[in-house]
Amino acid sequence: MLKHLGRTLGSAAVAGLLASSASAQTKPDFSGTWRLVTDVAPPAALTLLSPLWTSPFVLTQSAGTLAVHAVGATASEAYFLDDGDHRVNATDVVHATWKENTIVIRFTHSTESVPTIISQSLTLDGGRLIVKVVSARGTRQLPPVISQYVRDAR
């Protein structure tokens, strides 16, 4: 009985280690210079995206941050990927985190009684950066806008 229990506990420990190592796998690296694929970009994409996310821009990723810098401009933003709320100013809060292999950035803008929430999710798919933007104000949610980017070879 004890021998069987020890084997069962040992198997459970190995399964736990395998599960924890799978969840601790390396996250994708979004670093690089990216440009918008205009032939697949819906027109609404450019109105929902901040000017930083128009083409081209540079993403710089470290273990706990993601920075965005517009090429040829001084504008930039940085996000802490710590699953915490960070106040940007008196009306805006940014929350950025990993959801599996996707970075999710949520902006909450509260100047009126009903806040506006814009969520961006970043994933890599076959060498393309896919940015999905969902905007909501109160219970009114706009359809998602999906933009695709490719690495700029310049």
CATH number at residue 55: 2.40.128.20
90 and 64 Cβ atoms separated by less than 8 Å:
no
**What local confidence, expressed as pLDDT, does residue 44 receive?**
57
- The number of domains in the chain is 1
Q: Is the pLDDT of residue 100 over 80?
A: yes
The mean pLDDT value for 101-125 works out to 91
pLDDT of residue 103: 97
Is the pLDDT reported for residue 52 higher than 60?
A: yes
**Which residue would you say has higher pLDDT here, 15 or 149?**
149
Q: How far apart are CA 112 and CA 37, in angstroms?
A: 35
Rounded percentage of the chain residues whose pLDDT exceeds 90: 42
- Residue span of the structural domain in which 87 resides: 2-151
Say what the pTM is. Answer: 0.76
Over residues 60-73, the mean pLDDT reads 91
For residue 107, pLDDT over 70 is answered with yes
pLDDT tier at 99, thresholds 50, 70, 90: very high
DSSP state for residue 122 in the 8-state scheme: E
Distance CA 48, CA 118 (A): 9
C-alpha to C-alpha distance for 140 and 18, rounded to whole angstroms: 42
Spatial separation of the C-alpha atoms in residues 110 and 94, rounded to whole Å: 12
Mean pLDDT of 80-107: 95
CA separation for the pair 31, 35 (Å, rounded): 13
What pLDDT, on a 0 to 100 scale, did the predictor assign at position 50? Answer: 67
Residue scoring higher pLDDT (102 or 40): 102
pLDDT of residue 87: 94
